Amino acid sequence: MKLKYLLSSMLLAALAFVVPFATSQKAPNFETPAWTRPFKPFQIAGNLYYVGSEDLAAYLITTPQGLILINSNLESSVPQIRESIEKLGFKFSDVKILLISHGHFDHCAGSAAIIKQTGAKYYVMGGDVSVVEACGKKEFEYSTRTDFHFPPTHVDRALHDGDTVSLGGTTLTAHLTPGHTKGTTTWTMDEVEGGRTLHVVIVGSPNVNEGYKLVANKQYPKIAEDYKKGFKVLKNLPCDIFLGAHGGYFGLDVKYPRWKNGDKNAFIDPSGYKSWIADRERAFEAALARQQTGKP
Ligand SMILES: [Zn+2]
């Protein structure tokens, strides 16, 4: 009886230690409800589909030789992404290549599970390879944020700026648009619809997160220079269909209802792309100026 009591109190003590940690792993305080709210999958154009949640975007590209998936999102997003792919009539096990927007947990924490379930190859931009392979512990800003860490994931191919990824007649191009992370990637591809070529841009992230040091950053000395390079690239990309790593970037909440009501051109928004990039560049320049003049 005494031993039983001792064992159960030891178990309780162990749980008291483990539970808060496990909870914080599952629910980083960064997370918002729109990240996990399910969203109906739909065809954006041609062989390009939306399979993400309300705000965490994931894209499926279908080809006769299998599927390409961009973004694995949170660990908890994986069953949702799988369901979305299956609802569209495709097989989750046909995912051959997994890509990401950048190495932050809200876009890549689900990668290990997806690779385990599908056998997909993982291609990641060089600057983010060590981050995703080391669970986020090598991230310049969040190395000590255990609630932002995720399962370690082996990368099969390190990408460089301008590299292409091809499968079954479809080619995507990886554009290095760094700053937000060292390997933030903006993906482009072309869709042909009704004899018209539509340039698709999936923006990786041009945002300056809270706490980012743009000046004298020991972990990322070239951060400001990299953001500037990224904006130069983004401003020069031809864009018809404007997409990104979060639904909020391109106004999914406004465009999807239009699409649902029959406007199949709802995501064609070259001017929206230009003005959003310009807005983000102004926000970056303002943050940089504030930090250079010593303001918080
Ligand atoms: Zn991010």
pTM here? 0.89
Q: Looking at per-residue confidence, does 211 or 4 come out higher? A: 211
Contact criterion met (CB below 8 Å) for 150 and 109: yes
Tell how far the Cα of 106 is from the centroid of ligand 1, in angstroms: 7
- Percentage of the chain modeled with pLDDT above 70: 89
Tell how far the Cα of 16 is from the centroid of ligand 1, in angstroms: 31
Q: Looking at per-residue confidence, does 9 or 187 come out higher? A: 187
CA dihedral 289, 183, 246, 52 (to 10 degrees): -170
Arithmetic mean of pLDDT, 82-102: 98
Rounded to whole angstroms, the Cα distance separating 145 from 105 reads 11
Tell how far the Cα of 123 is from the centroid of ligand 1, in angstroms: 18
Tell how far the Cα of 120 is from the centroid of ligand 1, in angstroms: 23
Tell how far the Cα of 294 is from the centroid of ligand 1, in angstroms: 25
pLDDT value, residue 7: 41
Residue 46 has pLDDT above 50, yes or no: yes
pLDDT value, residue 290: 95
Q: Looking at per-residue confidence, does 36 or 29 come out higher? A: 36
Tell how far the Cα of 244 is from the centroid of ligand 1, in angstroms: 11
Tell how far the Cα of 105 is from the centroid of ligand 1, in angstroms: 8
Tell how far the Cα of 205 is from the centroid of ligand 1, in angstroms: 7
Tell how far the Cα of 206 is from the centroid of ligand 1, in angstroms: 9
Rounded to whole angstroms, the Cα distance separating 168 from 190 reads 14
Tell how far the Cα of 197 is from the centroid of ligand 1, in angstroms: 30
pLDDT value, residue 92: 98
pLDDT value, residue 139: 85
- Percentage of the chain modeled with pLDDT above 90: 80
Tell how far the Cα of 170 is from the centroid of ligand 1, in angstroms: 27
Tell how far the Cα of 1 is from the centroid of ligand 1, in angstroms: 53
pLDDT tens across 248-282, in order?
A: 999 999 999 999 999 989 999 999 999 999 999 99
Tell how far the Cα of 80 is from the centroid of ligand 1, in angstroms: 20
Tell how far the Cα of 246 is from the centroid of ligand 1, in angstroms: 9
- What band does 146 get if pLDDT is binned at 50, 70 and 90? confident
